[in-house]
Amino acid sequence: MDALRITHVEGTALPMRGEDVDTDRIMPARFLRAVTFEGLEQHVFEDERSGSVAGDRAKEQHPFDNPQYAGASILLVNRNFGCGSSREHAPQGLRRWGIRAVVGESFSEIFFGNSVMIGLPCVTVSPDELHELMERVEERPSAVLRIDLTAGTCEIDGFTCAIGLPAAARDALVTGAWDTTGLLLARYEEVNAVAATLPYVAGF
């Protein structure tokens, strides 16, 4: 489990402004037409990036196309990121693209859970702090952002703020227990015991 421990994430960042970014935007449904997650990194935000009709109509370059942010490993987002469909293909695509952590005002619950389960921490900061982080990154895209899950902080160019991460998710990530299946199978006799108390399992 040690190999799976995630205590720090460090790297340059990519600011993506906007509320309620849904998983259909992150990974359009047609890319779910496959029996593996392989290659999904090629399709992240595809329908709004350069080369798409909407992307070419847009006045501004999409942050995922902006060469200033090439190689970024931390995504900065606003409120309710990852809402909508439960498709794990969205965080899978982001992770395969190179994102190793997401910092935002808030996250949709299913997206948050899916991300933790693939070792992609999603941490929250206040709207003002997020604004500050985005401005600093936009000003100096080469600035390195450091997220310390154990200390509960994130830092860039001397600006430090506290991060929010539910204790269960933090513990799962820092101890490497985010791949939960093993945990759930560990004391399987207890599962059978609970099932035996449920009247519907026995057909009433």
Residues in the site for another protein, rule: CB under 8 A?
A: 17-20, 22, 24-25, 28-30, 32-37, 47-48, 52-54, 79-80, 83-89, 91, 106-110, 113-114, 117-118, 166-169, 171-172, 175, 177, 179-181, 183-185, 187-188, 190-191, 194-195, 197-201, 203-204
For 23-57, b/e burial (b = at least 16 CB within 10 A) is bebbbbeebeeeeebeebeebbbbbbbeeeeebee
| Of 12 and 108, CB closest to another protein | 108
Quote the tokens at residue 9: 């994430």
For 173, residues 6+ apart whose C-beta sits below 8 A from its C-beta are 5, 6, 7, 116, 119, 121, 149, 165
| Smallest distance from another protein to CB 155, Å | 26
| Of 160 and 180, CB closest to another protein | 180
| Of 38 and 157, CB closest to another protein | 38
| Smallest distance from another protein to CB 76, Å | 16
| Of 118 and 144, CB closest to another protein | 118
Hey, is 14 helix, strand or coil? Answer: strand
Look at the block and give the residue holding tokens 């560990």.
186
| Of 67 and 200, CB closest to another protein | 200
Hey, is 22 helix, strand or coil? Answer: strand
Kindly state the DSSP code that residue 83 receives in the 8-state scheme.
B
| Smallest distance from another protein to CB 79, Å | 6
